[in-house]
Amino acid sequence: MKFSRLPLEQVSSSLNLSKDLPTTVSLNGVDIQPRLLPVHHPPNVSFLSHSVTDLPKSWNNKFKLIINDYYPLHLQLSSRNRLYRNSIESLSREGGYWRLVQR
């Protein structure tokens, strides 16, 4: 199972989650700030320093569950709506889920 958290405002939550899941579940996190990403992490966890507005094409149709921990308030509403619509359509597999967690 592929699982993604984007972007990773709270990296520790992904690291803690990895302890409760089987190693067959992979967790992927992304944040534009590389300093927020840990160097040491379990083998089923990976982090990418990247912008959520331009995610890797290799992530298309990859995830069954996407949890967004951060709502980019710096973007205009039309840009935010387009970002989420495009992300949902491109990142999640058919029948996948998207969860927005506003903090």
Could you tell me if 65 and 95 are in contact, meaning their C-beta atoms sit under 8 angstroms apart? no
Which amino acid is it at 101?
V
pLDDT band at 1 (very low <50, low <70, confident <90, very high): very low
Q: Give the neighbor-by-neighbor strand order of the sheet with 92-100.
A: 45-49, 26-31, 2-5, 63-68, 92-100
Q: Which uninterrupted H or E stretch holds 67?
A: strand 63-68
Could you tell me if 24 and 2 are in contact, meaning their C-beta atoms sit under 8 angstroms apart? no
Please name which of 92, 99, 102 lies closest in space to residue 71, comparing C-alpha atoms: 102
Give the rounded percent of residues in the chain with a pLDDT score beyond 90: 0
What would the pLDDT profile of 8-51 be if each residue is shown by its tens digit?
Answer: 444 566 677 788 888 888 888 888 888 888 888 888 888 888 87
Tokens 């992979």, located at residue: 26
The CA distance from 43 to 66, in Å, is: 19
